Structure 1
Amino acid sequence: MPGRRPSAQAPGFPARAAPGAGSLSELDAVVPACRACPRLVEWREEAARVKRRAFRDWEYWARPVPGFGPADAPLAIVGLAPAAHGGNRTGRIFTGDPSGDALYAALFEIGLASQPRATHRDDGMALHGVRITAAVHCAPPANRPTTAERDTCRPWLARELELLGPTLRAIVVLGGFAWQALMPVLAGAGWRPPRPRPAFGHGTEALVSDPRGGRDVCLIGGYHPSRRNMFTRTLTPAMLHDVVRRGAEIAELPVRP
């Protein structure tokens, strides 16, 4: 039927719904309705039923988690996906888990977050000049989305970056999965990724050109602040702060010394 709204159950829902979002607030409102990936829907809802003992009194969000931050941010941070008992519980990306604790502490230290720790959606956290999002918006089993799930979710991120385009100058990409996922997303949002495709690495930088005549965007790779990476010292707080600060500098944001 002409004009019929796409079903949130359908795998093609993101591809049909994302382009219709005229603003980031509209996008953030429609993302949580998505049920396009059956395995992810089952996992996020199972985590909400079973819960962890520490969170047994919580009513879990248990839906796709939208991005967080101002609509005119010149800096974006892109991670892998929400954690089952982090963003999937709290409803805000990188909130309520050790990865988020590390990231928000780094943002607070340089003046891009209003407080050093994010615990829930109504905790008063505000971001200054930076928007945080993810390659996949649902919590995946074992933190491993499939390639099909990644590709199904791609239109949400493509539209988010497209809407950020007029102000966006830099993207800090946390982890190799997000780095690989981002290249076709950027192409879908109108940018021209470098050729050959740069390999991911902590501190790697790559310039993505804008053939439409706008600003080019600099990608900065950074190891993901997972519990494992932080515990093994693959990533230290100082290393995380360095890549976030570098992104802020390229984005021309004022930062604390």
Structure 2
Amino acid sequence: MPTIYIATLGQRPEAITVAFDRLHEQYRYEALAVLHTEPHVSAIAQAYSDLRAVCASDYPDIPTRFHEITHVDGEPLIDISDQHSAEAYYRGVLQVLYEYKRDGWLLHLMLAGGRKAMSIYAMLAASALFEPPHDRVWTVLSPEAMLAQPGQFHTPPGLRQQVQLVDLPLRPARIAPGTTVEALLERPLSRSRAFLAKLTPAERDLAELLRRNPYASNDQLGQLSNKSGRTVENQLRTIYDKMIGFLDKGESITDKRQALLDILRGE
């Protein structure tokens, strides 16, 4: 079976190629895949551009695939900043890993190139799908001399022995008998997640702010979000309109703010 090297991308892309070089000495990789969030306006934009260039020039014979992780509705995912984005990242990684497993690949996942939160969710996805010892999860420990010099995509000869690969212990998740990965991917979102997915980023931020400050007035919410009370009022009116359509209750809701809070709390 072919083996693919998969890595999560953060702001230090050098770890991806440094680890690949060492692992490729031991394993025959048929392809290289990179999991990343929005690649053009987020904090990883430069890392994404640099890594694409290095892969194209230094690994011309190894197919390289870049997989953008997005929200369920296709909206760009900038970073993991709340429960909504965390769930989207997990589902996106799970989907990519599942598709490779379905197509008959052995997977080696590298967790050194992304944010800690992203590595955690990628590890959770691997735990749901991987079959050790054929599938592996790795991280790489680089010496301070390399970390202090950004742009070193390959280990200098004198530091090679100081680059340590760690084969992380992998304990597959205990999924209930009869549960398929397809079912995990297709599991309906909670009511709160499903509703939040229908909001714009600005509306979602306001809804989350209201959830954390349920007794705040519009003016107080405005102060917390650097907006005017009138702007908050207008945004909430739009959110309420979407909520009415979501609940399919017409105008029968008497206390819209409380109804919104009930949804956000998962009630």
TM over 0.5: no
* Normalised TM-score (structure 1): 0.36
Q: Which has the higher contact order (CA 8 A, sep 6+)?
A: 1
Which structure has the bigger radius of gyration? Answer: 2
* Normalised TM-score (structure 2): 0.35
Q: Would you tell me which structure has more helix in proportion to its own residues?
A: 2
